[in-house]
Amino acid sequence: MAEENKSNGLAWFLAGLGVGALVGILYAPKSGRETREDLIAGAREGTEYLRTRTRQAAEQMGDLVDKGKEQVSEYVERGREAVDRGRAQWEEFVERGKNLVSEQSGRVTAAVEAGRQAYKTPPAADEPKDV
C-alpha cells in the first residue's frame, strides 16, 4: 500500500510538472530562448529527481532483500535446531524402548525357566497333588 502511494505521488508530481510547464509557457512573458532554457532546466531537474528516487528505491530494495535473506537464514537455523532436538528425543525414546524390551524379555525368560523347573521338579510329600 505504501509503495502504491509513492508511485501515485510520483505520477501526480510528473503530471503537475507537465501542467506547470504548459501553463508557464502560455503565460510567461519571456522570450523563446529563455523559455527553452527554462524547459531544459525543468527537464534536467525532473531527470535528476527521477535518478535520485530510482537510486533510493534500489537501495531500499537491496535493504529489503538483505533483511529477507537474514530472516530466511534465521528460520532455516531454527528449523535445523528443531530437527536436531527431535532427532535427539527420538533416539532417546528408541533407547528407552530397547532397554524396556530387553528388561521385559529377561523377565519373561526367567518366568519361563521357573515354569520349566517347577514342571520338572516333583511336588514335596507334604504338598497336595492336583488330580
Show me where the domains of the chain are located: 30-114
Angle, alpha carbons 36-38-40 (nearest 5°): 70
pLDDT, residue 39, reads: 79
CB 42, CB 17: distance < 8 Å: yes
Q: Are 54 and 61 in contact (CB under 8 A)?
A: no
CA distance linking residue 43 with residue 23, whole number of Å: 15
| Arithmetic mean of pLDDT over the chain | 85
Q: Is the pLDDT of residue 1 over 60?
A: no
Query: Other C-beta atoms within 10 Å of 39: how many?
Result: 13
Q: What is the pLDDT of residues 43-88, one digit of tens each?
A: 899 899 999 999 999 999 999 999 999 999 999 999 999 999 999 9
CA 9 from centroid of its chain's CA atoms = 32
Neighbours of 7 (CB within 10 A): 11
Specify the range with the lowest mean pLDDT, choosing from 23-32, 66-75, 89-98, 108-117.
23-32
- C-alpha–C-alpha distance, residues 10 and 50, integer Å: 9
Rounded Cα distance, 22 and 39, in Å? 10
Residue 74: the pLDDT is: 95
- Residue 97 corresponds to which cell in the numbers above? 524402548
Q: Which of 60, 54, 28, 61 is nearest to 42 (CA)?
A: 28
Do 25 and 35 touch, CB atoms closer than 8 A? yes
